[in-house]
Amino acid sequence: MFKTKKLLKMAFVSTVAAAFLVGCGGGDDAQEDKDVLAQIKEDKKIVFGVKYDTRLFGLKNPSTGDVEGFDIDLSKALAEEMFGPDVKPEYKEVTSKTRVGLLNNGKIDAVVATMTINEERKKEVDFTDVYFDAGQSLLVEKGSKVQGIEDLSKDTTVLAVKGSTSAVNIREKAPEAKVLEFENYAEAFTALKSNKGDALTTDDSILYGMAEEDPSFELVGGTFTEEPYGIAVKKGNKELVDELNKALKSLKDSGKYDEIKDKWIKE
């Protein structure tokens, strides 16, 4: 009898604790919204969220420790165009899963990380104009029986990254195929290399990087979606978006944009 009573007591206390936790969960965050642009000027630095694992766009070079790629060079040029030499660009690693959260809590000022503009995300963040036109495609081992999206039958497995649009898209376009999702591109590509799937799907821009890294893989079937990349900033920072758009346009006009693009993307 005594035991049961003790157990009941335990259960009651747990319920109270759980209710307490739940109460906390409901609480709105009372973080004050500071204007990001003003903050950048005050700190004399702008923090870009970039990928560290995506060849051609943002990749950490093991031997130098630097992050290299199109997104990095472009954001560097944008920072210089916007603020001159006064404001130092800094980089922080983001993944598809972390970038919106880091932006909203102010850890980063802007996301330049192969991020597709779409309606769903527009509710969460503000986007600049398109800075790169990508499209979703498939990467397979050379000689694979999969040569395009129509070959993704129910006997095939497609690898994708958690939290990416491509994972959602592929379920729509190839509903029969089995989809496995991984933490990041490094892990997804690692899995493809280890024969854990027939194809890896994401934006062609990223897949080109993987094919360059390991030439026994190739892109097949062209693109089957449009993935316009935009720079994302925290919602409500119109001024910063305008500044970024202005800088982007002048980089395009001056030819600097094409120079950066040609350096990384060879189609």
Report the residue from 71, 73, 81, 93 that binds other proteins according to the rule CB under 8 A. 93
Question: What's the Cα-to-Cα distance from 222 to each of 135, 150, 213, 266, rounded to whole Å?
Answer: 8, 12, 19, 15
Least distance between other proteins and beta carbon 29 (Å):
3
Least distance between other proteins and beta carbon 257 (Å):
28
Report the residue from 21, 84, 154, 266 that binds other proteins according to the rule CB under 8 A. 21
Distance (Å, whole) CA 195 – CA 78: 40
Report the residue from 135, 148, 163, 221 that binds other proteins according to the rule CB under 8 A. 163
Q: Is 42 in the site for other proteins (CB under 8 A)?
A: no
Residue 194 or 255 with smaller CB distance to other proteins: 194
The pattern of x and - marking residues 114 through 133 that bind other proteins according to CB under 8 A reads ----------x---------
Supply 204's token pair.
Answer: 């062609």
Find the binding residues for other proteins in span 203-262 (CB under 8 A): 213-214
Q: Is 194 in the site for other proteins (CB under 8 A)?
A: yes
**Per-residue three-class SS string for 28-46:** CCCCCCCCHHHHHHHHCEE
Q: Is 189 in the site for other proteins (CB under 8 A)?
A: yes
Q: Is 174 in the site for other proteins (CB under 8 A)?
A: no
Q: Is 190 in the site for other proteins (CB under 8 A)?
A: yes
Report the residue from 2, 4, 62, 84 that binds other proteins according to the rule CB under 8 A. 62
Tokens 């934006």 — which residue?
203
Least distance between other proteins and beta carbon 26 (Å):
5
Distance (Å, whole) CA 177 – CA 167: 12
Nearest to 233 by CA among 143, 110, 70, 121: 110
Residue 49 or 78 with smaller CB distance to other proteins: 49
How many Å from the N-terminal Cα to the C-terminal Cα in the chain?
76
How far, rounded to the nearest angstrom, does the alpha carbon of residue 60 sit from its chain's CA centroid?
15
Report the residue from 31, 84, 255, 267 that binds other proteins according to the rule CB under 8 A. 31
Residue spans of beta strands (DSSP E) within the chain: 45-50, 53-54, 58-60, 67-68, 88-93, 110-111, 125-134, 136-141, 157-161, 178-182, 199-203, 217-220, 227-234
